[in-house]
Amino acid sequence: MDRIESSDWYMRLLTAITNAQSQLIGTVERKQLFDGLLSALLELSDSEYGFIGETHLDEEGKVFLRTHAITNIAWNEYTRRHFEENAPNGLEFHNLETLFGHVMTEEKPVIANEPQNDSRRGGLPLGHPDLNSFLGVPLHSAGRMIGMIGIANRPEGYDEKLINDLAPFLQTCANAIFALRAESDRRQAADELSDEQQRLRAILDGAYEAIITIDERGIIESANQRAEQMFGYSQLELRGENVSNLMPTPYRLEHDTYIKNYLETGDAKVIGQGREVLGRHRDGKEFPIHLTVNETNVQGSRLFIGMLRDLSERAEADKQLKQLQRQLDRSRFGQLIGKSQGMRNLYRTINDVANGDWTVLIEGETGTGKELVARAIHAASPRSNGPFIAVNSAALSSSLLGSQLFGHRRGAFSGAVKDQTGYFQAADGGTLFLDEIGDISEDVQVSLLRAIESAEVAPLGQPNTEHIDLRIIAATNRNLGDQVAAGSFREDLLYRLRVGRVLVPPLRERREDIPLLAEAFLAEMRVETGKAIASIAAPVVSQLSQYNWPGNVRELRSAIQFATIHCHSGSISLSDLPPELLSAQSTAAERATTAPDFQQRLQQALEQAGGNRTKAARLLGISRATLYRKLKELQLDG
């Protein structure tokens, strides 16, 4: 693919990875997560069929596949019914004498661009859709295969380059399967606990990945399978050994001193605090881990529970994402899209204000993406691991806003039947984003100013205050200076809010970003609607670039959604656009036909279209009736 196509493909790849990671962080259901991953995989690879599955071992120790997402390739009533009844919970495939069976047994990619002649293919049931090309790739996590993807019928076939290009996305699929398996294992283990297994319950309740428990001497009492995989020792080998054996020097030499000091003084340097440290594998290799240690008392004995997460894969994923962003020439910043000078200035400002902990005021017209800017600031800030709580101030009444912001206690007012945590408390340790800050009432302005200055809040109905540790980012589409002059906004609050200032440019001031935005929104709609719309016609791109966009990026997204819904071909045309854009297009086209160079552009369009007047009209972005009228006026209709 050429440079422009490559940049567009990598932008769509980064979009798919970003969306999947945001869903992994959130609470998206399994089906929605993997269906979205499969749709993105098919779109990125230009494939007709595909699946994403998890590998398991049967009772005989043979590997088999259970799907998390799969395209419907039913070819008769029986297979249709079988698919509808079983696909939601996962279809199982045990036949290893197939192309994807070889992926599971050999744990290597399988490329078959002539499946019908491939000896590994195996037989297909009568009526099964033809496979013209096939690619199967194993998915690995923590050094072991946990699943695979299979895709088929790419027009130009498959190759190693596609596998390499898809590597970051495939790792995201592996991470999704790993997260699902870890949660499933945790729940299954928790369900099997008995009352007598208090020690194991205490371990599993706080578990994420590898778990190691030690006694007061530092001797390992137990370790789980993830600890085996992480350090290269069996559980039997680990039990009875000093945990310092899993640490490189100087930690190994100093560990016993740490425990002794804690037992004598209670000075906890690690207990209850997550931190990044180094672990040591059996082969001597050092690797970064995130360690959290908790203490519990079981049957009169002190027990220390260590929960460890290998950060090696995260570091590699971060490296791949950074490489992708460099390939995109900074055309994206988080969910922000654009490489115009205005957007580059915005990216620099975001980086500048993100480095500190001061309040920030984001100013911009409605629909410019102020919340996305706020999220980008939070993601680039030292508080990125904390919560991001967004509040639409304009959507709340004055009577409710104070309660929602600061919380309330039971009985504070009529209807307060229980304690309610406010947004300030929910955002503790992270960022509170107050959108449309210019719409809050004067009494809430007073409370907000007090909270910012004192770093304390008093929930309604509670006499004492609570300390808060958060960063406030506010946004407005109004001129707060004018509101201060009119007496509707406090001047001291304005000065408190706009320590850091970010101005988001309107879309009309960065028109060169419009094609990028339109393509990104079309990619989203392809996944949502399932329509195979390959492109946006050149006259449409021209019209989108000329329109004034009073609703900014939000209006552009809505226009692409409208056009996708109404499009019934492989390319969005002018007739698919919303009426307001067509009206503006007619006006713009009329102005264009009166331009001094129109006759020259008309003749060039006719030559380019080989004399086809319909194509020439499309190239010029005008109707055929207008073209014929201008030909007659210019005496070119002979």
Q: Which tens digits make up the pLDDT trace of 227-282?
A: 888 899 988 899 899 988 999 887 788 777 777 777 777 665 556 556 778 899 99
Per-residue confidence (pLDDT) for residue 365, from 0 to 100: 93
Per-residue confidence (pLDDT) for residue 202, from 0 to 100: 45
Q: For residues 380-404, b (16+ Cβ closer than 10 Å) or e, as one string?
A: bbebeebebbbbebeebeeeebbbb
Confidence of residue 447 (pLDDT cuts 50, 70, 90): confident
Stretch 77-82: mean pLDDT, rounded? 82
DSSP secondary structure code for residue 503 in this structure: E
- 171 and 238 share one domain: no
First to last CA, the chain: 43
Per-residue confidence (pLDDT) for residue 324, from 0 to 100: 44
- 67 and 124 share one domain: yes
Per-residue confidence (pLDDT) for residue 283, from 0 to 100: 92
DSSP secondary structure string for all residues of 116-140:
GG-TT-----TTPPP-S-EEEEEEE
Asked whether residue 273 is assigned to any structural domain, the reply reads yes
Asked whether residue 537 is assigned to any structural domain, the reply reads no
In tens, the pLDDT along 319-345 reads 544 554 454 446 445 578 888 888 889
Name the 3-class secondary structure at 305: strand
More confident residue, 347 or 399: 347
- 130 and 210 share one domain: no
30-45 vs 514-529: helix crossing angle, rounded to 10: 120
| CA distances (Å), origin 202, targets 40, 107, 179, 188, 243 | 40, 36, 21, 15, 19
Q: What is the CATH number of the domain that holds 36?
A: 3.30.450.40
Range in 353-367, 436-450, 570-584 with the lowest mean pLDDT = 570-584
- 216 and 155 share one domain: no
State the pairing for strand pair 49-57/336-337. Answer: unpaired
Express as a percent the part of the chain with pLDDT over 70: 81
Rounded distance, CA 326 to CA 318, Å? 12
Instruction: Confirm if 163 and 189 have CB atoms less than 8 A apart.
Output: no
Asked whether residue 208 is assigned to any structural domain, the reply reads yes
What's the full length of the chain, in residues?
A: 638
Per-residue confidence (pLDDT) for residue 206, from 0 to 100: 40
DSSP secondary structure code for residue 311 in this structure: -
442-454 vs 398-406: helix crossing angle, rounded to 10: 20
- 288 and 358 share one domain: no
Range in 23-32, 289-298, 566-575, 596-605 with the lowest mean pLDDT = 23-32
In tens, the pLDDT along 509-555 reads 999 899 989 988 888 888 788 777 878 888 888 889 888 899 999 99
In tens, the pLDDT along 151-210 reads 999 989 999 999 988 988 898 888 888 878 777 766 665 555 444 444 444 444 344 468
Q: Which of 185, 217, 234 is the last residue of a domain?
A: 185
Q: Which of 185, 218, 248 is the last residue of a domain?
A: 185
Instruction: Confirm if 373 and 435 have CB atoms less than 8 A apart.
Output: no
Structure tokens at 62: 């043979």
Name the 3-class secondary structure at 514: helix
- 285 and 428 share one domain: no
Per-residue confidence (pLDDT) for residue 205, from 0 to 100: 39
Quote the number of domains for the chain: 4
- 350 and 218 share one domain: no
Name the 3-class secondary structure at 151: strand
Give the residue numbers spanning the domain of 263: 194-314
Which of 543, 534, 569, 405 is closest to 474 using CA atoms?
405
Asked whether residue 364 is assigned to any structural domain, the reply reads yes
**Residue 360 pLDDT > 80, yes or no?**
yes
Rounded distance, CA 135 to CA 163, Å? 9
Strand partners of residue 174: none
Asked whether residue 281 is assigned to any structural domain, the reply reads yes
Provide the phi-psi class of 137: left if phi over 0, else alpha when psi is between -120 and 50, else beta.
beta
Over the chain, what is the mean pLDDT?
A: 81
Rounded distance, CA 218 to CA 564, Å? 63
**Residue 213 pLDDT > 80, yes or no?**
yes
- 230 and 341 share one domain: no
**Residue 636 pLDDT > 90, yes or no?**
no
Q: Is 525 exposed, middle or buried (0-12, 13-18, 19+ CB in 10 A)?
A: buried
Write down the residue that tokens 């101030």 correspond to. Answer: 393
Range in 29-38, 574-583, 591-600 with the lowest mean pLDDT = 591-600
Q: Which of 287, 314, 341 is the last residue of a domain?
A: 314
Q: What is the CATH number of the domain that holds 626?
A: 1.10.10
| CA distances (Å), origin 46, targets 42, 376, 390 | 6, 31, 37
**Residue 382 pLDDT > 80, yes or no?**
yes
Q: Is 532 exposed, middle or buried (0-12, 13-18, 19+ CB in 10 A)?
A: exposed
Confidence of residue 491 (pLDDT cuts 50, 70, 90): very high
Structure tokens at 226: 């993830």
- The pTM of the full predicted model, rounded to 2 decimals, is 0.45
Asked whether residue 107 is assigned to any structural domain, the reply reads yes
Stretch 117-126: mean pLDDT, rounded? 73
Per-residue confidence (pLDDT) for residue 603, from 0 to 100: 83
- 297 and 363 share one domain: no
Asked whether residue 556 is assigned to any structural domain, the reply reads no
Stretch 83-101: mean pLDDT, rounded? 86
Residues 6+ apart with CB under 8 A from 8: 519
3-state secondary structure 45-89: HCCCEEEEEEEEECCCCCEEEEEEEECCCCCCHHHHHHHHHHHHH
Instruction: Confirm if 500 and 361 have CB atoms less than 8 A apart.
Output: yes
Asked whether residue 600 is assigned to any structural domain, the reply reads yes
- 82 and 214 share one domain: no
Express as a percent the part of the chain with pLDDT over 90: 25
State the pairing for strand pair 456-457/535-536. Answer: unpaired
Stretch 385-412: mean pLDDT, rounded? 79
Confidence of residue 448 (pLDDT cuts 50, 70, 90): confident
Confidence of residue 574 (pLDDT cuts 50, 70, 90): confident
- 237 and 290 share one domain: yes
In tens, the pLDDT along 584-633 reads 554 555 555 556 677 887 887 788 777 777 777 767 767 666 777 778 77
* Strand order through the sheet with 92-93: 92-93, 63-70, 49-57, 144-152, 134-141, 110-112
Rounded distance, CA 48 to CA 134, Å? 10
Range in 22-26, 302-306, 354-358 with the lowest mean pLDDT = 22-26
More confident residue, 61 or 70: 70
- Largest Cα–Cα separation, the chain: 104
- 293 and 429 share one domain: no
Structure tokens at 499: 């320590």
Rounded distance, CA 333 to CA 338, Å? 8
Name the 3-class secondary structure at 196: coil
| CA distances (Å), origin 217, targets 189, 241, 265, 303, 310 | 28, 10, 16, 10, 25
